[in-house]
Homo-oligomer: A and B are copies of this chain.
Amino acid sequence: MSITLLANGDFSAGKSAQASVTSRVASVYSEVQATRIDHELPLPSVLRKPFKIVNGPPSSAAGNPDEIAKLFPCLFGQPSAVLVPSDSEANQTNQKLKIGCVLSGGQAPGGHNVISGIFDYLQERAKGSILYGFRGGPAGIMKCKYVELTSDYIYPYRNQGGFDMICSGRDKIETPEQFKQAEETALKLDLDGLVVIGGDDSNTNACLLAENFRKKNIKTRVIGCPKTIDGDLKCKEVPTSFGFDTACKIYAEMIGNVMIDARSTGKYYHFVRLMGRAASHITLECALQTHPNITIIGEEVAAKKQTLKNVTDYIVNIILKRADLGYNYGVILIPEGLIDFIPEVQQLIAELNEILANDIVDEGGLWKKKLKDQSLQLFEFLPPAIQEQLLLERDPHGNVQVAKIETEKMLIQMVETELEKKKKEGPYLGEFKGQSHFFGYEGRCGLPTNFDSAYCYALGYAAGALLQNGYTGLISSVGNLAAPVEEWTVSGTALTSLMDVERRHGKFKPVIKKAMVELEGAPFKKFASLRNDWALYNRYISPGPIQFVGPASNAANHTLLLELGAQV
């Protein structure tokens, strides 16, 4: 039974209304989608009652505070702003606000709830305010492409996945002309505030905007919200980025299913590549949820300066040991960005780019003499299909397309080759059949879990509170996440305090460094203490599909809980 959602928010079973301005109004909803729309969201208790905002001590920067201070003369050193219960609403003005919001970068489940949170805050605490949604990401700010977000407009997107309410984009506001365009939009719409919902780059950008508005005496304040399924935007005050919880649970559902398939069939090694080019948090979290036989963590490969051969050998050794135990099957998790962590691969690709740009790649292979020894050795070690891909597929700049390499298929071929050698040598009698998987797009737009739904709503609600109270250049920060929602803490953290600088083209650029998997952190240590057992014995866990009601519906992910010191 499907349910049609009409523009006014009424449901009408079985009928499909005409296509309308927004993509969801008049779409047909599944029962699960429909029941989620009216799911009541809990709020941290501090947001449910009158609160006041208390400033902490001045902040510094994650690194190079002097340079950050120079880059952000108006904002550097801002204290964090903590919401605490208050007897009166004294410090909350009744001023009507004009606020804009924008979704930036790749989708993450929960983005719509951040917007609902901002909207509901304004409705409840600053009646008569207006919320604009910039369309298609930061480009929408620059081109002043926006839509006024009303109650009816937002309604169909409540607790729904995707970013399609206002869509997203990957443009950046970088050049002086682009900053000028943003100013014009802020002035044209008379914006009191702007909420930037995005990852590390977008939040850096948000802070640059905030600094620029402050410098130019434009009243528009800017608050960031931490978004990315990759889980690599986090710090003490911002314990996780939204979307990570849902995406990992979707991938873990699939991995758990594949594990049971592996065990039932007894004849495949499933190589599962998981989305996330930079950090391996998704892979680590999925491992903690499902207990695969082998998990490769990019940060460990980099720290140990492992080669592709080392990684292959590690896999092959476990396969050999499992064959001795009678197991010719298993599940192996691989982070999408694996080869970016391997220095020798980077070196080979740099040399290939050079050769491809300047030389002729002859059939006979004379061109290979231009490769350094180590690179030649690696190239010869690669499966022929990958060699070919490296030579043939180029991006518009003529460079090798590393992102197109299907790491899981490459590893299958390399493992296969090594195992054939072992077979000839004698000790290995098992059968190896690799089966490749890539879990990526299916996780970015799922219905947000109860955790992400509530977390995002609180992030948005807090952003509204911070803007109303005159703050700028902060990132909305919701903490104490291992406790029930009522006990979550709410604050704003100076974006400059998350920053360091990187030198690019001879200039210092501010960056929020990606939070990588910490080899000394609790999640990795737990994984490392268990992986040998998981490798040989089958400790598979199948998390099953995300549940929205019942006892299994409210647990947060392992990474977050372990980092918060909770027992999992």
- A: residues with CB less than 8 A from B are 1-2, 14, 16, 19, 23, 27-33, 35-36, 107, 160-164, 167-168, 250, 253-254, 256-261, 263-266, 268, 270, 289, 291, 435, 437, 441-447, 533, 537-552, 555, 567-568
Cβ–Cβ contact A168 & B264, under 8 A: yes
The 3 closest A-B pairs by CB, nearest first: A32-B544, A545-B545, A162-B260
- Determine whether the beta carbon of A542 is less than 8 Å from that of B161: yes
Are the CB atoms of B441 and A552 closer together than 8 Å? Answer: no
Q: Which residues of B contact A16 (CB under 8 A)?
A: 533, 539
- Pick from B36, B258, B441, B540: contact of A257, CB below 8 A: B441
Given A164-B260, A257-B443, A435-B441, A1 and B545 contact (CB-CB distance below 8 Å): no
Number of copies of chain A assembled together: 2
Chain B neighbourhood of A33, CB < 8 A: 541-544
Q: A161-B542, A164-B260 are in contact. List 13 more A-B contacts (CB 8 A).
A: A1-B568, A27-B540, A30-B289, A30-B541, A30-B542, A30-B544, A32-B544, A33-B544, A161-B257, A162-B261, A167-B264, A253-B545, A549-B550
Task: Return the contact of A23 from the options B265, B538, B552 (Cβ within 8 A).
Answer: B538
Distance A29 CA – B256 CA, assembled complex (angstroms): 11
**Do residues A445 and B30 form an inter-chain contact, with CB atoms below 8 A?**
no
Q: What CA separation (Å) do A568 and B263 show in the bound complex? A: 36
Residue in B256, B259, B539, B546 whose CB lies within 8 Å of A545: B546
Q: Tell me the minimal C-beta distance from A159 to chain B in angstroms.
A: 10
Q: Are B547 and A291 in contact (CB under 8 A)?
A: no
A163-B261 Cα distance, complex, nearest whole Å: 8
Cα of A435 to Cα of B567 in the assembled complex, Å: 40
> Can you sample 21 A-B contacts with CB below 8 Å?
A1-B568, A14-B567, A16-B539, A28-B539, A30-B541, A32-B544, A32-B547, A35-B550, A107-B261, A162-B260, A167-B264, A253-B446, A257-B445, A257-B446, A258-B442, A258-B445, A261-B444, A261-B445, A264-B445, A435-B441, A446-B544
